[in-house]
């Protein structure tokens, strides 16, 4: 009897950036990681947690940031929808740009794809100017090549002009 099931889509490698500066920040990262694993894909690597100064709006608590590498069969648009659902479920309320947040999850890379959609840009714009993204990303993927800038994450981290510190808090 032939198998009439359509083939599964190929797996994709996705890097997600997580950030939080409200409430129990470590618990927020752990909960977000659990929900990502349950709904989006298998986590292959996760960086240490970095304590970082706020970027954009200064008058707010410091952030905890982390980067995850996962494997998924979902499209970028589906991932974005699920991320927004997770953020809302965890209590994220969007006020001002760069304002304090219970959780923030961003798609940094989706394979080596370059996407410019109305609601989604991949690779994530401005990541090369943000140590809170570069430091954890360089920890787990120093040789990853940025498909637009054609530099490795390690090269981008070394060339960063962001004056804000990103220091390892916990592994």
Q: Which two tokens stand for residue 77?
A: 């648009």
Summarised one tens digit per residue, pLDDT across range 38-89 is 999 999 999 999 999 887 667 788 999 999 999 999 999 999 999 999 999 9
Q: Is residue 4's pLDDT more than 80? A: no
Instruction: Give the sign of the dihedral formed by CA 86, CA 56, CA 165, CA 61.
Output: negative
Please name each of the domains of the chain with its CATH number: 12-170 (3.30.70.560)
User: Using CA atoms, how far apart are residues 76 and 122, in angstroms rounded to an integer?
Assistant: 9
Instruction: For 95-105, write each residue's pLDDT tens digit.
Output: 655 556 789 99
Among 165, 22, 34, 17, residue whose Cα is nearest residue 95: 22
pTM: 0.91
């Amino acid at each position: 009897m032939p198998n009439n099931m359509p083939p599964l889509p190929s797996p994709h490698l996705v890097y997600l950036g997580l950030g939080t500066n409200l409430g129990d920040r470590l618990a927020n990262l752990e909960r977000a990681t659990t929900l990502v694993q349950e709904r989006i894909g298998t986590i292959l690597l996760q960086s240490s947690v970095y304590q970082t100064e706020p970027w954009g709006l200064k008058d707010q608590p410091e952030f905890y940031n982390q980067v995850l590498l996962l494997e998924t069969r979902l499209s970028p648009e589906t991932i974005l929808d699920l991320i927004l659902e997770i953020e809302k479920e965890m209590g994220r309320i969007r006020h001002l740009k760069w304002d304090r947040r219970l959780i923030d999850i961003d798609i940094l890379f989706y394979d080596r794809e370059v996407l410019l959609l109305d609601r989604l840009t991949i690779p994530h714009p401005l990541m090369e100017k943000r140590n809170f993204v570069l430091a954890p990303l360089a920890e787990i993927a120093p040789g990853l090549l940025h498909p637009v800038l054609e530099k490795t994450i390690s090269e981008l981290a070394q060339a960063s002009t962001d004056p804000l510190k990103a220091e390892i808090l916990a592994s």
